[in-house]
């Protein structure tokens, strides 16, 4: 069991993340929220396309400041034109985050539970990423080819597959000894990814804006 510098077992974080999803909702409302809250911008070139989004971090008991760019979580997904596979995934968090803690990422699925829907964390896709670079704008974790290797149990995880099969991504970072959690709805990513495959990645080598 890996301990954080503050004495709390890092493996307990998935339980904490689950608590922020303890509500009932319809599947349609999830997709509507994704479209409204998570907007993906795409830019393309001869080499491929870059999908980008910025999401205001979660409450975590401390309301975020919408006017402060450091309070946003950023995600980049770079797709190679030749292979239509990721060149990399990158995650950006507050530049004041504790770099020694890295970031924790998990995925969830929403399933029918009779008259309501419930959200379960995917235990096979919960992992920690090191922060490779911090500057005055952000701290970044980059995953070449979108494949997470070297997990504690030796697995390799395909981030693109998880982004396409899960309903939410959960991301956690630590700042000042406190964990900040953010849920990213993935329905809008799936729509933009499918659009890019069908149009932009099939376009000519000219740059697509």
Sheet arrangement for strand 72-80: 41-44, 48-56, 72-80, 86-93, 139-144, 133-134
Residue 169 C-alpha from the chain's centroid: 5
5 located within any domain: no
Domain coverage including residue 15: 10-202
- CATH, residue 69: 2.60.40.1880
pTM of the predicted model as reported, rounded to 2 decimal places: 0.81
Residue 184 lies in a domain: yes
Query: How many independent structural domains does the chain possess?
Result: 1
Short-list 201, 209, 155, 159, CA closest to 184: 159
1 found inside a domain: no
- Domain membership of residue 208 (yes or no) is no
Q: What is each CA distance from 202 to 82, 172, 196, in whole angstroms?
A: 10, 35, 8
Give the C-alpha separation, 100 to 108, whole Å: 26
- Decide if 4 is inside a domain: no
**pLDDT (tens place) for every residue of the chain, 209 residues total:** 232 322 333 333 443 444 444 443 555 555 565 566 799 999 999 999 999 999 999 988 889 999 999 999 999 999 999 999 999 999 999 999 999 999 999 999 887 766 666 777 787 778 899 999 999 999 999 999 999 986 666 778 999 999 999 999 999 999 999 999 999 999 999 999 999 999 999 865 444 44
* DSSP H or E stretch at residue 154: none
Residue 39 within a domain: yes
């Amino acid at each position: 069991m890996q301990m954080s510098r503050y004495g709390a077992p890092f493996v307990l974080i998935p339980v904490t993340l689950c608590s922020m999803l303890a509500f009932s909702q319809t599947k349609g409302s999830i997709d509507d929220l994704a479209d409204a809250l998570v907007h993906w911008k795409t830019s393309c070139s001869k080499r491929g396309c870059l999908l980008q989004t910025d999401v205001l971090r979660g409450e975590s008991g401390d309301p975020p400041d919408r006017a402060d760019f450091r309070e946003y979580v950023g995600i980049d997904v770079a797709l190679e034109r030749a292979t239509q596979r990721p060149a990399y995934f990158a995650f950006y968090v507050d530049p004041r985050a504790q770099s020694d803690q890295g970031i924790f990422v998990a995925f969830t699925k929403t399933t029918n539970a009779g008259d309501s829907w419930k959200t379960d964390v995917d235990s096979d896709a919960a992992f920690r990423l090191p922060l490779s670079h911090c500057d005055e704008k952000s701290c970044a974790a980059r995953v070449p080819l979108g494949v997470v290797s070297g997990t504690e149990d030796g697995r390799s995880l395909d981030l693109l597959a998880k982004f396409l099969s899960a309903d939410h991504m959960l991301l956690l970072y630590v700042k000042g000894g406190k964990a900040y959690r953010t849920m990213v709805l993935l329905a809008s990513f799936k729509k933009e990814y499918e659009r890019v495959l069908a149009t932009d990645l099939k376009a000519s080598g000219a740059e697509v804006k």
